Amino acid sequence: MLVITVSNQKGGVGKTTTCVNLAAELGRRRYATLVVDIDPQANSTSGLGIAPGSVETSIYDVLLGEAAVAESVVRTRWEGVSLLPSTIDLAGAEIELASAMSRETKLRRQLEALKGYDVAIVDCPPSLGLLTINGLVAADRLIIPIQCEYYALEGVSQLARTVALVNENLNPRLAIDGILLTMFDARTRLSAEVADEVRRQFGDRVFTAVIPRNVRLSEAPSHGAPICYYDPTSSGAHAYEELGKEVSDRWLRRAR
């Protein structure tokens, strides 16, 4: 199973939107896909149509060793997509795991025990705490969403330093493998300038697919549906369809 972690400690960059919609696109491409929600806000969980308050066991119980990972996975309504859900309980995990042995590798060891999936997509909190470190340690590939706005690269250098430390000490596979441009507004010069600067800095690690500002994309989470099911004709749906194809071509076809 290939583990793709989506992370950026800057909030509001489209991280959860990317996890939910990339998972849906990979599921439609016949990959058995697991979304792993390690954000206490549980937005990936609700975005896939699962009420966080309705789950019996969550990633919180799994990380604390109080539930088996395979028994905590729930099926979603969406083709090929399962979920390891989050709840608000996860907010306390940073403290509860602080004194645990091998605390940084708990997620990786749990995911290694799972069978039957082609790819897992990990949604991290907008911070560089212990939960995000677990997501980075578990990763085979790392995607960083960057919004096409002022201060777009703010925080990326700090995340890059964290990636280097995790690579050196805990996960030698870890690198910045993919940069995704989000919230692109074709009407503004600023969006184009930010996109050009990101491509200048990161080169071919930047995905060709660019996620636009799109009202339908913003509406979809409130209906608990990925955009490809909520409004398949929207520009947001087309953009994530392109991203799904790129991720499949870059990383998954070679893994099969």
- Chain segment 183-209, per-residue pLDDT in tens: 999 889 999 999 999 999 999 999 999
- Tell whether the model's pLDDT for residue 94 goes beyond 90: no
pLDDT band at 96 (very low <50, low <70, confident <90, very high): confident
Residue 254: per-residue pLDDT: 58
CATH hierarchy code of domain 2-252: 3.40.50.300
Residue 154: per-residue pLDDT: 81
Among residues 176, 134, 182, which one has the least CA distance to residue 156?
176
- Tell whether the model's pLDDT for residue 73 goes beyond 90: yes
Provide the percentage of residues in the chain whose pLDDT is more than 90.
Answer: 84
Question: Where are the domains positioned within the chain?
Answer: 2-252
- pTM of structure: 0.96
Residue 180: per-residue pLDDT: 98
